[in-house]
Amino acid sequence: MMFSRLRLLAAVGLVFLLSDFHPVLAASTLRYTLAMPAPQTHYFEVDMSLGGFGKQYTDLKMPVWAPGSYLVREFARHVEGFQAKAGGQNLRIEKINKNTWRVYHPKAKDFTVHYSVYAYELSVRTSFLDAAHGYVNGTSVFMYPADSKQLASTLEVRPATGWTQVSTSLKPAGSQFTFTSSNYDELADSPIEIGTHKVMSFEANGTPHTVAMFGNAKYDEAKLLADMKRVCEAAHRVVGQNPLDRYVFIVHNIERGTGGLEHLYSTTLSTSRNAYSTEAGYKGFLGLVAHEYFHLWNVKRIRPIALGPFDYDNENYTHMLWVSEGGTSYFGDKIVQRAGFVSPEEYLGNTSTSITRVENTPGNKVQSAAESSFDAWIKGYRPNENSANTGISYYDKGELIGAMLDLMIINETKGQKQLDDVMRYLYDQYYKKQGRGFTDEEYQAAVAKVAGRRFDDFFRRYVYGTETLPYDTMLGYAGLKLSTAPLTTDVALGATISTTGGKFTVTNTLRNGSAWQGGLNVNDEVLAVDGNRLTDDPNKLLASRPANSQVKMLVSRDGQLKELTFPLLASAAIRYRIEQVASPTAEQQVVLRKWLTFKE
């Protein structure tokens, strides 16, 4: 009884403290209206009604990036016609920096704002509007009061004439197409699909799941929903706790898919409309579902400390995207395998392909997984012709690091624990108990806690360093080994040649390859080889030449002719293949079964 009364007094005191620190939030109101009266022009019309803002002026901000996509995209560049009014009179406005509009309202606590947003980039990271449908990513459309990001808001969507569907994970607010969000982060993290798209549903883990399908695509609806349910349930079993009361898949079926982007209670998937018609394409789609769905734990709730609360004005730096994205790639592949869509043999084959890709990328020896994560803002989303020589994908490298850590943990605990247990610990300790993300050191400590020992040397050499991952040692724990063979026995020019428009143009050269050492440059147009006019990709022409034979190339560089002579080197590319050892020990079989065999 005494404990309860003390708790009550503490709660009352907390209320007074909060009211002292947040007087603006307690009295203020915010309502958005989103209209699209002429969708063929690609403009969303946004109205904001702000009430109870008692200062002399209010700053309104447009984010510069979209969480989950680590690039400053400058969304404010698409804003037009910003204006503000109070009592029917125009208010003075001033743009004080690239993404902030200052509205002066010294005599009015209530005022309205109107602006237009040009939206014509159909990707999972941006917003789009045309005569067929509208798609909204909150950070690229909705501004927020700079000092009131925690303010709850209401959103009314007014679809274009003839459009009947609005799909979003935002909670309904009573009237049709009106929704509510508890703060700006939730509004920004809840994409919206608007149009005449098909809406389907299924239940997984006791939670309703909605699938909003835009675009014409041929698929077996019952099978697709059943398979998506299996993926979701397999993903749930990794952490074993369901943080959801609803979930929305927005699926864009277009000519060429662009991937996916995770959100707090939803995801947007962009896939080829023909993906469902082939076994490889269908498995690829399920893999995309698994990856983005698992993000609702890894990133949205289990996250590096830098990734929330978000700073929408600046880059949010972390060394841990190899965990957040690469680790999600690892678990995404495991989830599809655990759900029964990929056999253990196929999984090992896919992992072999990943090793081959990473180890044949020269930048793997230049940039570490931690550096790749930190430099995502300036490198990851801005690849150029030299990127393969200078960097490595935190997706690809992180996936392999995840596999190695999993095998190490399983081996150390004699099959009792695995990487899933690390995710469970992080979820409980940092998301649920402390309500924050984890630091680099706290992630390593979590691995150590689960495994029963620290792996500091592993992290130093292979995560923060660029040494080759110890595949043989880790795979050996499971009675597996890594065999190698030349990827090709031919010589290699070491350059990629574009053959568009009847021209043969160099698009990249591989570090230390024949072209690199011979002085062949990106953007050179290859005209002739050994005095013969070129009629096909020179890679095909030169493949049968003996190693170290000389080749003469006539190229056009910046409109001037140049002749280059250099030796052709044997290809250094290696194909990697995971194989089982002849007679695995009992201990190795325990590790293998834990890694690849699951009870579903």
- Of the ranges 164-168, 304-308, 499-503, 551-555, which one carries the lowest mean pLDDT score? 499-503
The domain locations on the chain are: 23-195, 197-296, 304-477+586-600, 491-570
**Percent of the chain surpassing pLDDT 70:** 95
Architecture of domain 23-195: Sandwich (2.60)
Binned at pLDDT 50, 70 and 90, residue 598 comes out as low
The SS3 assignment for 484 reads strand
Mean pLDDT of 12-26: 40
Which tens digit of pLDDT belongs to each residue from 74-99? Answer: 999 999 999 999 999 999 999 999 99
Longest dimension (CA), the chain: 97
Predicted confidence (pLDDT) at residue 70 exceeds the cutoff of 80: yes
Pairing of strands 178-181, 89-90: unpaired
Mean pLDDT of 101-110: 97
Check for a shared fold between 197-296 and 304-477+586-600. yes
Mean pLDDT of 478-489: 91
Mean pLDDT of 197-218: 97
**pLDDT at position 5:** 34
Mean pLDDT of 302-325: 97
Which CATH superfamily, name and number, covers 197-296? Neutral Protease Domain 2 (1.10.390.10)
- Determine whether 335 is exposed, middle or buried from the number of CB atoms within 10 Å of its CB (0-12, 13-18, 19+): buried
Predicted confidence (pLDDT) at residue 544 exceeds the cutoff of 90: no
Which tens digit of pLDDT belongs to each residue from 257-277? Answer: 999 999 999 999 999 999 999
Which tens digit of pLDDT belongs to each residue from 387-433? Answer: 999 999 999 999 999 999 999 999 999 999 999 999 999 999 999 99
Residue 256: alpha-carbon gap to chain centroid: 17
Architecture of domain 304-477+586-600: Orthogonal Bundle (1.10)
Share the mean pLDDT of the chain: 94
* Of 411, 155, 135, 365, the residue nearest 266 (C-alpha): 135
Ramachandran class of 340: left when φ > 0, alpha when ψ lies in -120 to 50, beta otherwise: left
Predicted confidence (pLDDT) at residue 21 exceeds the cutoff of 70: no
Mean pLDDT of 182-197: 98
Distance CA 449, CA 236 (A): 22
Task: Say which residues have a Cβ less than 8 Å from residue 403's Cβ, sequence separation at least 6.
Answer: 330, 351, 474
Architecture of domain 491-570: Roll (2.30)
**pLDDT at position 210:** 98
Helix H or strand E encompassing 380 = none
- Find tokens 């230049």 and name the residue: 366
DSSP 35-86: E-S-GGGTEEEEEEEEE---SSEEEEE--SSBTTB-S---GGGGEEEEEEEE
User: Cis omega before residue 39 (within 30°)?
Assistant: no
**pLDDT at position 328:** 98
Binned at pLDDT 50, 70 and 90, residue 56 comes out as very high
**pLDDT at position 492:** 87
Distance CA 305, CA 120 (A): 33
- Of the ranges 179-183, 216-220, 346-350, 539-543, which one carries the lowest mean pLDDT score? 539-543
Mean pLDDT of 276-298: 98
